Amino acid sequence: MDLRHVVDQVLINDTKVLVEREREIMSKVLHYLREVDRRKLYADIGYSSMFAYCTDELRYSPDQAGRRISACRMLATLPEIEEKLDRGELNLTVLGLAKSYFKENNLTLAQQRELLDEITNKPKREVGR
């Protein structure tokens, strides 16, 4: 794709629109992955785990697969993360860090929600501390 001829302002505007669409698509992908996981459909087509399905069938890298699986499972108990992902207030990396922290510290659902509110709009370097 050659974008050298695209006017600067159009390029800036179109990039923003594409990123918004990308977030919408990510949210939809997470819902689909959640349902595949819930039904264990990966086993029906010969995969031993959701991770194997995501890496082998969907061709995600191990890190990409792990982040998506973690996020899709979080959607089940914390549906409010969908809006935050859609708006770019949270990303998959930050959610992965949060989920690890939740598990290590055995946080209640209320504590998880409180922590998610605290890390909303925070970059990874601040969340990882």
54, 60 in Cβ contact below 8 A?
Answer: yes
Give 3-state DSSP helix, strand, coil % of the chain, rounded to 5: 75, 0, 25
pLDDT at 122: 84
Q: Which of 36-40, 88-92, 95-99, 116-120 has the highest mean pLDDT?
A: 36-40
Residue 87 belongs to what H/E stretch? none
Structural domain including 89 reads: 8-127
Question: In the structure, what pLDDT confidence band is assigned to residue 58 with cuts at 50, 70 and 90?
Answer: very high
**Domain assignment of residue 65, yes or no:** yes
28 located within any domain: yes
Contact 129, 95 (CB under 8 A): no
pTM of the model as a whole: 0.85
19, part of any domain: yes
Give domain status of residue 3, yes or no.
Answer: no
The number of folded domains in the chain is 1
Q: Reduce the secondary structure of 32-49 to three states and give it as a string.
A: HHHHHHHHCHHHHCCCCC
User: Where residue 127 falls among pLDDT bands split at 50, 70, 90?
Assistant: confident
